[in-house]
Amino acid sequence: MKKLLLTLCMLFPIAAHAATVTLAWDRHGDPTVAGYNVYRGTVPGGPYVKVNLTLVPQTAINDTPQFADMTPAGSTLTYYYVVRAQTTGGVESTNSNEVSVNPPPTPPTNLRVVAFSAINLLIDGNKVAGGPPFPVDFTLPRQTPPRLVPIRVTVQP
């Protein structure tokens, strides 16, 4: 095994927030390799615990093996991963190189609006428009000639 690549993408389940870590590595060229086992630990160098329930199958020659692992919800730990190739006879290789990921923190909860203030347009001290909904669109009559041509004003938020 040459290298282990790591990508991180976020999933947002309704009940709890967790991160999915997608691991990818170079396919082992030995024809007796049946697949791979993925191990995760919380300390550099291990100990590691196997996280795949079934063997990650060997891929076609030009494909890249991958595995997605969901980290525990709300965890702030750094996770360390290694992969081991397994032969058809059940023999595992030694560990690949180790990669680490630190999932992002759990997003804040209970977001709410605690204040709102409207914008008012005053002309000569008189309110001519304002407040939600925005944008506010209105027409003012002209007080100077030509009086028949109104002035149109639009207020954007």
Q: Are residues 45 and 82 in the same domain?
A: yes
User: What pTM did the predictor assign?
Assistant: 0.59
Residues 3-28: tens digit of each pLDDT: 444 433 333 333 345 678 899 999 99
Q: CATH code at 31?
A: 2.60.40.10
CA-CA-CA-CA torsion for 68, 70, 76, 77, nearest 10 degrees? Answer: -60
At 59, is the secondary structure helix, strand, or coil? coil
Q: Is 113 within the bounds of a domain?
A: no
Query: Does the N-terminal peptide bond of residue 146 adopt cis geometry, omega within 30 degrees of 0?
Result: yes
Domain membership flag for residue 109? no
130 shares its domain with 67: no
Are 124 and 97 part of one and the same domain? no
Residue 78 lies in a domain: yes
Using pLDDT thresholds of 50, 70 and 90, give the confidence band for residue 111. Answer: confident
Structure tokens at 143: 């007080």
CA-wise closest residue to 99 among 7, 19, 37, 17: 7
Q: How many domains does the chain have?
A: 2
Q: With bands split at pLDDT 50, 70 and 90, how would you rate the model's confidence at 122?
A: low
Pair (133, 96) in one structural domain = no
pLDDT in tens, 47-60: 999 999 999 999 99
Same domain, 53 and 97: yes
- Domain assignment present for residue 35? The answer is yes
Q: pLDDT band at 113, cuts 50/70/90? A: confident
**What is the tens place of the pLDDT at every residue in 86-97?**
999 999 999 999
Q: Work out the mean pLDDT of the chain and round it to a whole number.
A: 75
Please report the pLDDT score of residue 15 as a whole number: 38
* 92 lies in the same domain as 35: yes
| Domain residue limits at 150 | 120-155
What pLDDT shows up at residue 52?
Answer: 95
On whether both 25 and 86 belong to a single domain, the answer is yes
